[in-house]
Amino acid sequence: MNKSMSYKIFSTFNIVFMGLLLVICLYPFLYMFALSFSSTNAVLAGKVFLYPIEFHLGTYKTIFEYPNFFIAYRNTIFYTVVGTFISLLMMISFAYPLSKTWLKGRNIVMKFVIFSMFFSGGLIPNFLIVSWLGLTDTVFAMLLPFAISQFNLIILMNFVKNLPGSIEEAAIIDGMSYFGILIKIIVPLSKPAIATISLYTAVFFWNDWFYGMIYMSSAQRYPVMLFLRNIMSGASIRGAASGSGSEDKTTIYATLKSGAIILTTVPIIILYPFLQRYFITGLTLGSVKG
Amino acid sequence: MKQGSEGEIQKAGAKNRLVAGKRGSAGKYWQLYGLMLFPVIYFIIFKYVPMFGNILAFRKHKPGLSPFGTEWTGLRYFEMFLKDPSFWRAFLNTFILAITNLIVNFTIPIVFALLLNELTALRYKKIIQTVTYMPRFVSTVVVISMLTEILSPTSGIVNRLLADLYGMDPIFFANEPRYFRILYILTDTWQFTGWTAVIYLAAITSIEKQLYEAAMIDGANRWQQTRFITLPSILSTIMVMFIMKMGYLLGLGFEKVLLLYTPKISVVSDIIDTFVYRVGLVQSNYSYSTAVGLFGGVVGLILVVSANKISKSLTGESLY
């Protein structure tokens, strides 16, 4: 291979540039980490850039003493675990019959599913229906409306559709029921797709703050991201929902905010390296098509 | 599966063939239909009933009464918002933000994928890829919280550097209308570049290696290979992605705009979605904001459908 001088120069620049992007992606987390373990004085004096100055744990102690922090954290774990579980049950049991393109009525159902991706109730009708159903301020408002994501459903359906049909045919000849096939054959074979969509779903539930804000009125049921958002906006109650006065935002120390950021993001940062291979497969698994 | 049911029909004998055939399909498939039951009910209650709830745009809402309104009002709420200057401001802001965001954040992932593809050290490439798409999984709240921390006028690192290096007075970036669009777009770049690039990278890796070998024999340098092999090969992917983005043009990060909200920047940051949120959920003008939301939804639907039509005729690829 003959590589020109200019290409070598480009390559060097490229390697450095990519390294720079790496830093840009990671630095915000590193900075938050450094702030959260520094003393308030060091932060206010503007000494913290990369690593903790005057290392101390007071920030985390203060956050843990917030009465609602652990409640909110526990709520988020609950919403994530139960929400993902309900989602998976619904999506698996829907994706399997939808993957049978020859099934009578399947195409009509599929058309309804796809149409609802492009046109929806919108914010207000959804909100009013949820409160009309009496779900407001109950955990169900956080779990049920989001049970099926059409996008994830289609990923799973395409995966099931592309499984070799011969195993299923053999099972049918052996007299196995469709329930049995789904549980004993389809689910084990679809593990990569199920792993992917459960991760997407779990991340959705973990990251939500907006639906927590509009559907929950008691702080006892707030998800942790809403707790973080309230710390950030300096509002501890729901009253200032539209984003409170910007002046308030400086009244809570930067250390506290960064500590809360680290605590709410840490599960994703820790789990990410282990899970990221599934995220990629999710993107390459079947395109969004009916 | 067909073979299975045919076998059964034959076993059932000639006389009962028709009956068995009917009972066979209904009897066999009831489990499949049964599996659909709860999901279909879910779709009706949580997708289609709210969709029908858009009827509120034409009806008056009374607190505590039906979510579908109490009496017909015709197009009153539409006339109201069409005469409302703050609606038109939100409308204009939506398009400006959406289009500038599209231009910037559509191009960058392509360039990033091409550059990433030039890295020869596989391990390094893998690390860059893994780290750059991690921000996709971070909550919008966290992204905006980190942004406001970094840009904070009192303790933020950017203002400290500006003061130390240039002796500048602190700038309250998050509260200056002229920085809002830049901040919105750059946080999108930070959060989604690596993620979007994965699709282009997949397209690049599926290009046949022989094409490059042949080009090298012909004396093409790396840039010429990129220009005449890589780019044309991924053009259809680029087209499809562009059309999809066009279709979802109005689907801006509503939560992000809401989180960035300050009264001062609302002149540029108020978009249709935040307008609906503010008028509807904050001021409880349900019918009025449903009308605005419905308008936005219909514009969005028209965009998706026409983008898909164009895609079908140009590339043969379509979303549905």
Closest among B97, B95, B85, B101 to B300, alpha carbons compared: B95
How far is residue A92 from each of residues A146, A151, A198, A217, measured CA to CA in Å? 15, 13, 11, 32
Closest among B219, B191, B16, B213 to B108, alpha carbons compared: B191
Residue B233 scores a pLDDT above 70: yes
Closest among B189, B313, B312, B311 to B242, alpha carbons compared: B311
Tokens of A213: 């804000």
CA distance B220 to B104: 30
Residue A97 scores a pLDDT above 70: yes
Helix (H) or strand (E) holding B173: none
Residue B236 scores a pLDDT above 90: no
pLDDT of residue B247: 75
Residues 41-100 on A with a CB inside 8 Å of B are 43-44, 46, 49, 90-91, 93-94, 96-98, 100
Q: Which chain B residues are within 8 Å of A241, Cβ to Cβ?
A: 281-282
Q: Which of A22, A122, A209 sits opposite B297 (nearest CB)?
A: A122
Strand partners, B71: B60
A271 touching B, CB under 8 A? no
Closest among A82, A78, A76 to A263, alpha carbons compared: A76
ipTM value of the model?
A: 0.87
Q: Which chain A residues are within 8 Å of B246, Cβ to Cβ?
A: none
CA distance B301 to B297: 6
Instruction: Write down all domains in chain A, each with its CATH number in brackets.
Output: 27-56 (no CATH), 67-284 (1.10.3720.10)
pLDDT in tens, B121-137: 989 998 998 899 889 88
Residue B224 scores a pLDDT above 50: yes
Residue A251 scores a pLDDT above 50: no
Residue A250 scores a pLDDT above 70: no
pLDDT of residue B11: 41
| Strands of chain A, DSSP E | none
Predicted confidence band at A67 (pLDDT cuts at 50, 70, 90)?
confident
pLDDT of residue B220: 86
Coil, helix or strand at residue B59: strand
Coil, helix or strand at residue A176: coil
Predicted confidence band at B268 (pLDDT cuts at 50, 70, 90)?
very high
Give chain A's mean pLDDT: 85
Instruction: Write down all domains in chain B, each with its CATH number in brackets.
Output: 2-72 (no CATH), 85-315 (1.10.3720.10)
End-to-end Cα distance, chain B:
26
Predicted confidence band at A252 (pLDDT cuts at 50, 70, 90)?
low
| DSSP per-residue string spanning B17-28 | HHHHHHHHHHHH
CA distance B118 to B226: 10
Query: What residue of A is the nearest CA neighbor of B41?
Result: A90
CA distance A170 to B319: 34
CA distance A150 to A87: 11
Predicted confidence band at A242 (pLDDT cuts at 50, 70, 90)?
very low
Rg (CA), chain B: 27
Nearest-Cα distance to chain B for A44, in Å, is 6
Answer yes or no: are the C-beta atoms of B248 and B158 closer than 8 Å.
no
Q: Which chain B residues are within 8 Å of A226, Cβ to Cβ?
A: 141
Query: What residue of A is the nearest CA neighbor of B150?
Result: A28
Helix (H) or strand (E) holding A258: helix A254-284
Q: Which of A90, A129, A209 sits opposite B141 (nearest CB)?
A: A209
Q: Which residues contact A269 (CB under 8 A, 6 or more apart)?
A: A29, B134
Coil, helix or strand at residue A141: helix
Residue B51 scores a pLDDT above 90: yes
Answer yes or no: are the C-beta atoms of A210 and B277 closer than 8 Å.
no
pLDDT of residue B253: 84
